[in-house]
Structure 1
Amino acid sequence: MKRTILTMGVLVILMASFSNADGARRENSESIAISTSASDKVSAGERLISKSDCMGCHNKVNKIIGPSYLSIAQKYKPTEKNVNALADKIINGGTGVWGTMPMSAHPSMKKSDAVLMVKYILSVKK
């Protein structure tokens, strides 16, 4: 019983630390140039990620099980083709691009939500 409570406490602390890391925002000339409607979509994508199970495997800057959002943003340009392909990857899952660990599928996720999440992820750059 004590071990279960201790494990749950550690998990809560880990999840809280991940959400604090994502809450920090850096402003640069690119973020200032983003239009109001584009920044609303980015915020919506970030909110969707924070409410999903993404943070169990991904972090904004550090690799956990899957790649960091920063690594993904550095690998993929924010083109319509890449956004749709990555949104499909979130929905259907997959393996092989970042190693042998499979990404779990999220078949109940709406494509529009996955697109917003991908647009946020691809906006994460140093």
Structure 2
Amino acid sequence: MMRGVASVISALMFGALAGAVVPVARAADAPRGQLVANANACMGCHAVDRKLVGPSFQQIAGKYKGDAQAPAKLSRKVKDGGSGVWGMIPMPAHQSMSDADIRAVVDWVLAGAPSR
């Protein structure tokens, strides 16, 4: 009887641990730009495919498609903030984000914010 209980407990513990690992594996599969955007509150104002406070990432990608200066323009916009391009609501500055993190987000956004 005890052996059966121990087997059930072991199976439940393994299942719980396996379930805990899945979200981590999925997060590891996400593009770096998406992970950085999630970690820096970008998703509070932007969504991938719909307007929230600011434009969707896909709208941004569409607006800047083919613009060779877009990575530099958008990197500056993220770092310094600004307003007027998408309406009256200003985008706050993100001075504490590293240039590498900003570039990862910008590159991801300009690629259409893919999930993989």
Q: Shared topology, TM-score over 0.5?
A: yes
Residue 73 of structure 1 contacts residue 121 of structure 1 at CA under 8 Å; is this kept in 2?
Answer: yes
Give TM-score scaled by structure 1 length: 0.63
Per-residue CA distance 1:56-112 (angstroms, 9 max, x = gap): 100000100000001001000265521011011001000000000000001111111
Instruction: Structure 1: give runs of 5+ residues left out of the alignment.
Output: 1-22, 24-39
Instruction: Structure 2: give runs of 5+ residues left out of the alignment.
Output: 1-25
1:70 aligns with 2:58: yes
RMSD between superposed Cα atoms in Å: 2.3
The one-letter code of the counterpart of 1:88 is R
**Structure 1 stretches (4+) deviating beyond 4 angstroms?**
none
Q: Secondary structure at the match of 1:120?
A: helix
Give TM-score scaled by structure 2 length: 0.68
The one-letter code of the counterpart of 1:59 is A
Distance 1:113 1:79 in 2: 21
Shift in alpha-carbon separation, 1:79–1:53, aligned structure 2, 3 A: same
The one-letter code of the counterpart of 1:54 is C
Residue 78 of structure 1 contacts residue 119 of structure 1 at CA under 8 Å; is this kept in 2?
Answer: no
Distance 2:42 2:51 in 1: 12
1:112 aligns with 2:112: no
Identity, % of aligned positions: 38
Distance 2:108 2:66 in 1: 10
Q: How many residues align?
A: 87
Q: 1:44 aligns with which of 25, 32, 36?
A: 32
Q: 2:46 aligns with which of 58, 61, 76?
A: 58
Distance 1:78 1:117 in 2: 18
Distance 1:79 1:63 in 2: 22
Shift in alpha-carbon separation, 1:70–1:109, aligned structure 2, 3 A: same
Residue 70 of structure 1 contacts residue 124 of structure 1 at CA under 8 Å; is this kept in 2?
Answer: yes
Larger radius of gyration: 2
1:90 aligns with 2:82: no
